[in-house]
Amino acid sequence: MCGIVGYVGTDQGATDVLLEGLSQLEYRGYDSAGVALADPSIEVHKKAGELSSLESALPESQLGDEPAGIGHTRWSTHGAPSDANAHPHTDELERVAVVHNGIIGNYQELRDELTTAGIEFDSETDTEVIPHLIGSFLEQGQTNAEAFRSAIDRVEGSYAIAAVFEGDETVYAARNESPLVLGLGENGYYLASDVPAFIEYTDRVIYLDDGEFARLTPDRVVVTDDTGDVVDTTIETIAWDSEETGKSGYDHYMLKEIHEQPTALRQCLRGRLEELSGGVSLENIDEMDWNPPIRLVACGTSYHAAAFAARLFRDWGVPAQAFLASEFTATEIPLSADSLVVGVTQSGETADTMRALREANRAGSTTLAVTNVVGSSAARTCDEVLYIRAGPEIGVAATKTFASQQVALMLLAAELSNHRSRELIRELRTVPDQVQAVLDNSRAKEIATEYRNADAYFFIGRKHHRPVALEGALKMKEITYKHAEGFAAGELKHGPLALVSEKTPVFAVVTGDGPIAEKTIGNVKEVEARDTPVIAVTDGVSDVGRYADHVLEVPPSTGITSAITANVQLQLVSYWVANELGRSIDKPRHLAKSVTVE
């Protein structure tokens, strides 16, 4: 969601670093942007709208040599998008400027207290209480560092906070349940909510943990705990560079990332398949202590991957259930020391999923993170972690990370159920090439052109294809802003069939020719009888093509991997419909890449 950038150093002015960092965080979703510079007084510049609006408003002749600064892209929670509500915020005397991600749970109590003390607020945000709190402690004679820490001690909720003070070449920061990462450069130090903000400057990072504080000066970084004691930090090296976060000639990040799926899947599978035994090898996973049932918790696209995995577990003899993380509570779903809770989260920072995992930890359960981001909160919170290895994903709508989650969770299900099948291993080996074949031969663009003006889009599938139908509908909603729904195919006749018409194309995922395919074909016939266009996503084994207006082909397979290739076709349809409609594909309105508030 909101993006934070901070910099202090000697090799360049802070303004350029902050603006470049904010541009690299635009994918997270935002509605305003701003910077605060310590030079030596506090200078704040902020604007509602896109980053370009802020850049146009900056007095370039007055900027260039600032030694320290912070920047922010805001995704509104408290107060509408406006110049006043944009970050950074300052105290009344403009001695300190603050940016903040997350939600201050006790902000109204603090605001009332500060208002009673005579302080006037300029915004509707919860964030503004922080600089005013800091200012009140400065008035009591505390140092900058002391006032910052004292203010944070008063704050409740989730937060990543950064601050700069007048006359102080230092960036102060703290986190609790919202990500912050430090970058260690040769002649400067960086702070951000995500690595892409500074990856072009350094690949050496320190991830802050909950309750930790950081102080960045031109010559060093100091991390302390909530008691003020210095923390022995671990420096990690990021395994990708700035080129991986570019568009590489594609019109949109989303299209680039759809086409990166064969590579992402090969990375996910590398070193994890055992050809001779027909099993898989996941480091440390087989050593976990747990008993069924397995609970998977996730949100959005990750929830669809979790639902796909839950069915696999059940098919292979292990009771499992997928829960929306926002609905998951340990009091309603009893957990014990031998329970296993699997959190599926691309970013490793999703607030609802992190809350569910923390509840599971408090209950004494074993927790496992399935995530894309090394060093993320989920990776550090859980007992074990399974990385999906998809590489950086910039587009807000998840594509390659969903496919990688599907494959990683297949491996997990095989490992934990002790499911051994040379046939499955062979299929997994061929999946990257099958996805490439879909990308090379898809007719999705042609179909998108024909149906771009549809009133709504419906997606149906059974068993392993039901989560694919749900994900197909979600992608269509996210980037086209058109109404779309995904259903278990058999549920159409229990209500949704009332909605179909000649202006509501139905995408039906049908592979193989067994009983499941036959039943889904029956649902296709129900739709066809009502003059509704049908697009079959099929491997051609069944005769579903006879009843469809169009066919999107996927390579034949003998098992569950068709759920991956079918999804790629649906991703392409959504992309091309959005492109035809001129939508903001990489940054859909109102949405954020990493949802760090509940």
Of 244, 74, 214, residue with least CA distance to 149: 214
Neighbours of 228 (CB within 10 A): 10
| CA–CA distance, 72 with 127 (Å, rounded to integer) | 12
- Note whether 214 and 208 are within 8 A (CB): yes
Tokens of 155: 């704050």
Cβ contact 236:374 at 8 Å: yes
Is 272 within 8 Å of 432 (Cβ atoms)?
Answer: no
- For residues 114 and 281, what is the distance between their CA atoms, to the nearest angstrom? 57
Instruction: State which H helix or E strand residue 384 sits in.
Output: strand 384-387
Separation in Å, CA 240 to CA 243, 324, 374, 391, 572: 8, 31, 11, 8, 26
Catalogue the long-range contacts made by 242-246 (C-beta closer than 8 Å, 24 or more residues apart): 242/196, 242/199, 242/200, 244/391, 244/392, 245/24, 245/196, 245/199, 245/392, 245/394
Nearest CA to 508 among 530, 492, 495?
492
**Which sequence positions are flagged as catalytic?**
2, 593
Please give the DSSP secondary-structure letter assigned to residue 230: B
Joined tokens for residue 374: 């090394």
Task: Compute the Cα dihedral for 374, 380, 381, 383 and give only its sign.
Answer: positive
CB distance 511 to 463 below 8 Å: no
* Phi and psi torsions of 379, nearest 5°: -60, -35
> H or E element: which one contains 100?
strand 96-104
Element (H, E) at 439: helix 422-441
Following CA atoms 167, 168, 169, 172 in sequence, which dihedral angle do they give, to the nearest 10 degrees?
A: -140
CA distance to 410, 462, 555, per residue, from 559 (Å): 12, 14, 11
Beta strands (DSSP E) in 393-496 are 456-461, 483-488
